[in-house]
Amino acid sequence: MTMIVHEDCDPTVAKDKKLPYTAFIVEYMREGRIAYDIAVSTSQVELFDTYYDKYKKDFKSFKQTEGRVAPNLWQAPTQPIKPKKPKKE
């Protein structure tokens, strides 16, 4: 499963160490200019297939971001933050 975290973003976002280590910055052509996405995928093959199917010849490359967080501990920005439970007395 490939999830796009940031679409058409600044490439400096890839330097964020709070991203999971399975995050990649994808470079592609969009409307005659270079665009970047930050995407999280379970495998590089799946990421390539997703972007190649979507952009064909406009797909340029992808590389791993500076993310350091384990994927199971990372919370996507689209997920709601769970409220903390009050302590029992």
Residue linked to tokens 């340029």:
60
What is the pTM assigned to this prediction?
A: 0.81
- Position 7 in a domain: yes
Range of 37's domain? 2-64
- Count of the separate structural domains present in the chain: 1
Q: Is residue 52 part of a domain?
A: yes
CB 64 within 8 A of CB 24: yes
In a domain, 55, yes or no: yes
Assigned domain for 89 exists: no
Give 11-61 pLDDT, tens digit per residue. Answer: 999 999 999 999 999 999 999 999 999 999 989 999 999 999 999 999 999
| Phi, psi dihedrals of residue 87, rounded to the nearest 5° | -75, 140
For residue 33, being part of any structural domain is answered with: yes
Query: Is residue 84 in a domain?
Result: no
- With respect to residue 76, please indicate whether it lies within any of the assigned structural domains: no
Token look-up 């990372």 returns: 74
Residue 43 lies in a domain: yes
